[in-house]
Structure 1
Amino acid sequence: MKYFIIAGERSGDLHGSNLITAIKKADARAEIQGWGGDYMQTAGAEIVMHYKDLAFMGFVEVLKNLPKILGFFKLCKKQIQDFQPDAIILIDYSGFNMRIAKWAKPQGFKLFYYISPKVWAWNQDRALKLKQNIDKLFVIFPFEVDFFKKYDYEVEFVGNPLFDAIAAFEPNPDFLNQNKLTNKRIIALLPGSRKQEVEKMLEVMVATKKQFPEHHFVIAGVGNLSREFYERFLADDVSIIIDQAYDLLSHAEAAMVTSGTATLETALLGVPQVVCYRTSWVSYKIAMMVIKVPYISLVNLIAQKEAVVELWQDEVTPENITEEIKKVLNNSAERQQQLLDYQKIREILGSAGASAKTGKRIVEILENDNLANN
């Protein structure tokens, strides 16, 4: 069978690659095209658009790039029509994928959504649009099942795919030497994967360095941004590594993390953190009007409490970040409490296998439909 997968970000590319592996295991003749990145390509998909060209964040940024984004919609629709897949699989990336679903459903395509849009966070009525357009929604947080029940929409909880990535992670025993890092204690900086958010976050993160003379700061860079882009943020005792975030976190004593998937990855790898989020003033004001949840980090949303400190917008200052990082160093009570909360989060989320389970279920559903129609 033929599958068209759309993942518009680095994390979706990673989860998409594990999904592709599962699909190919269940369907030996699978043909897969899609939007994604290097992980999905390595897993066997033909990538017809790389996610690095799609990274727009914030309401204002999207409006400024609207003509380009509309061009992407037109291109994607044509690629789907040319390929004529048996199924379209959408991975997160809600702003784009929900519009594709609205177009594709009347065209007669079978639609699956893996990693639900965070409709519980804002504009909750989007749940009705998912129910209308998506044949099967696979969710990765237990609380999402109850949320969608309010809309009489039966979804399937498959576990969290980050466990797949972390379970597959094998630490590089020569990580420090290969990256010319000393045995000095490390504080990891995870400023995000989009150029806009990295520019907003790295300067303020690095500005705290003078308050931590005994630590080496290491930036977790991503390959879709050039090393030259990062170099302007470097200073004495501040280094950069590219696409080695898990190895970095496995050596870090603490981390400064921009809100997003990285907050949960940091928690599952057992590194105390402070979460930072800052965007344009207009985007922030709009977000504050529409967001319906009390936290911005996945860690706190899952824990349903402030397990990690969140600094929002004007709170993101070198002084505030310094104060919160110092609280989770040196075996402090705050550090130990974070680690206890991390353990509870692991228990809530379950175990590895989300992508494998989802890929297998997609193939099963398609095969059952084919039997019913023949």
Structure 2
Amino acid sequence: MKYYLIAGEASGDLHASHLMQALKDKDAEAQFRFFGGDLMSAVGGTRVKHYRELAYMGFIPVLMHLRTIFRNMAICKKDIAEYQPDVLILIDYPGFNLSIAKYIHANTNIPVYYYISPKIWAWKEWRIRSIKRDIAQLFSILPFEVAFFEQKHHYPIHYVGNPTAQEVSEFRAGYKQTFAEFCEENNLDIHRPIIALLAGSRLQEIKDNLPAMIEVAERYEDYQMVLAGAPSIEDAYYAKFIKNTPVHLVRNKTYPLLAHSTVALVTCGTATLETALFDVPQVVCYETPVPRLIRFAFNHIIKVKYISLVNLIANKEVVPEMLADRFVVDKIADELYRILPGQPERDKMMASYKEVRERLGDKVAPDEAARIMFDLLVKRREELLRLAQERAAAEAKAAAEAAERARQKALAEAEAARKKAEAEAELARKQADERIRQAQQRAAQAQQEEWEVQRSERYEEEQERGENF
């Protein structure tokens, strides 16, 4: 089958590439065309545009590149309509993708599937209207989304498992490096346990959160601080914050770091879930502007109770969330102390991590999604074939019935013409007979009149002869 995919950022490129490979495993004839990145290209297919030409974050960058964004949307819509895939698969990136879905639903018969559903439970819940209208099938990687979509909005979705859970499970099963080996490889102290610092992957996140994280961790002199470097952030930027501190920076080793960490300070996002899946107790730190206003919003306006995926999945506070007015160094340090080895909150958090893992399940997300998608598409193709056959049969039947009606009409018209001709012939015969009869009458009358004239003439002659005598 022909698949068209759209991924607008690096994480989408990763998830889409795994899905494409799973689809190839299910569908030997799979053909791909996509907006995406290098990972998708490595799987195969035709890349129309790289996601770097699409990804603009923040109000000002979006405003400055509106013309480019609209041009890319127009190119995308036209390309999909011309390619006529069996399905359009959207991966996250709702601002762009929901606009494409609206156009494709309104102007084509191509079904639209959404893999990694938009997080409308957190913001822009009004988007449910366009999702219900334009998205044929929705695939979720977060178990709590099932209740949100199906119970609250009466819109059925597919929970296919969580990719992060799968990735962490596979890594832990194959990772054999010891703590000492990890420390030696990264110039760390093999005698001190690690406090992992996961400060986010965006410049502003790092600027807002890393200094406070370092200040908190420095209070625990028996531990060493190790910062997980984000691939997109240069060393020079980290140096602004970790220079003249005992912080060690490691790159492309987040999973090994977590595998050997005792506790962690983490910003919100997928990192909180990764940390939980490595059974590392954590404190979530996230500085926000106007903290009291943000706290008021959380209490009275924002519709979610938590910001970390761990708490959202568990539907309770498993890990402390130090944001808004709770983002205070002393308070964060107190929460960190409560989860150190030997403290009761540590065991409580670890037990709750087990509940989170159970809720996530053991499905392999791309494989499960690919299986469902392929089965749905096969059924759709069979249904379309059945409908086409029924339509062809109905059209053939209608044509036969029309032909029979035409034949019957022709016979009826021929019969009517025959009868009309016979009637006209009979009428003509009768008219001819009548004319003959009338002619005969006239001839007889003329003969009679001639006889009368002759008789009168003979009479007159006889009278004349009698007078002469």
Note the C-alpha offset of 1:77: 4.2
- Equivalent in the alignment of 1:115: 116
Per-residue CA deviation, residues 149-185 of structure 1 (Å, 9 max, x unaligned), is: 3323111122222222113313262543333233221
Instruction: State the shift of 1:284 in Å.
Output: 4.9
Residues 35 and 51 in structure 1, CA contact (< 8 A), matched pair in contact too: no
Q: Secondary structure at the match of 1:352?
A: coil
**Matches of 1:204 and 1:43, distance apart in 2:** 41
- Which structure has more relative contact order (CA 8 Å, sep 6+)? It is 1
The aligned residue for residue 269 of structure 1 is: 278
**Aligned mate of 1:67, from 64, 67, 72:** 64
- Give the letter aligned to residue 81 of structure 1: K
In the alignment, which of 135, 156, 178 is matched to residue 154 of structure 1? 156
2:209 to 193, 201, 213: 201
Give the unaligned 5+ runs of structure 2: 386-469
For normalisation by structure 1, the TM-score amounts to 0.88
Residue aligning to 2:323: 312
Tell me which residue corresponds to 2:183.
176
Gap change, CA 1:182 and 1:100, over 3 Å in 2? farther
Deviation at 1:43, TM superposition (A): 4.1
Query: Structure 1's 223 and 127: CA in aligned 2 closer, same or farther, altered over 3 A?
Result: same
For residues 202 and 56 of structure 2, the distance between their equivalents in structure 1, rounded to whole angstroms, comes to 6
Q: Give, as a single letter, the amino acid of the residue that structure 2 aligns with 1:366.
A: L
CA contact (8 A) 2:77 2:100 kept: no
Q: Tell me the equivalent position of 2:236.
A: 228
Question: CA 1:76/1:243 → structure 2, altered by over 3 Å: closer, same or farther?
Answer: farther
Whole-Å separation in 1 of the counterparts to 2:176 and 2:246:
22
- 1:163 lines up with 2:129 in the alignment: no
Distance in structure 1 (CA, Å) of the matches to 2:321 and 2:167: 25
Q: CA RMSD in A?
A: 2.8
Structure with the larger helix share: 2
> Aligned pair count?
370
Compared CA separation, residues 286 and 351, structure 1 to 2 (3 A) = same
TM-score, L = length of structure 2: 0.71
Residue 382 (structure 2) pairs with residue 371 (structure 1): yes
Structure 1 counterpart of 2:92 = 92
Matched-pair contact (CA < 8 Å) for 1:52–1:224: no
Preserved CA contact (<8 Å) 1:9 1:55: no
What is the one-letter code of the residue matched to 2:131? L
Whole-angstrom CA distance in 2 between matches of 1:279 and 1:178: 36
SS of equivalent residue, structure 1 residue 207: helix
Contact 1:10 1:193 in 2 (8 A): no
Give the share of equivalent positions with the same residue, in percent.
39
What residue number does 2:269 align with? 260
* 1:359 aligned residue: 370
Alignment correspondent of 1:303: 314
Amino acid at match of 2:79: D
Unaligned segments of structure 1, at least 5 residues: none
| Distance of 2:216 and 2:337 partners within structure 1 | 11
Shift in CA distance, 278/124, structure 1 to aligned 2, threshold 3 Å: same
Secondary structure of the residue aligned to 1:167 is helix
Structure with higher Rg: it is 2
Quote the residue 1:326 is aligned against. 337
Q: Say whether the 8 Å CA contact 2:275–2:282 is kept in structure 1.
A: yes
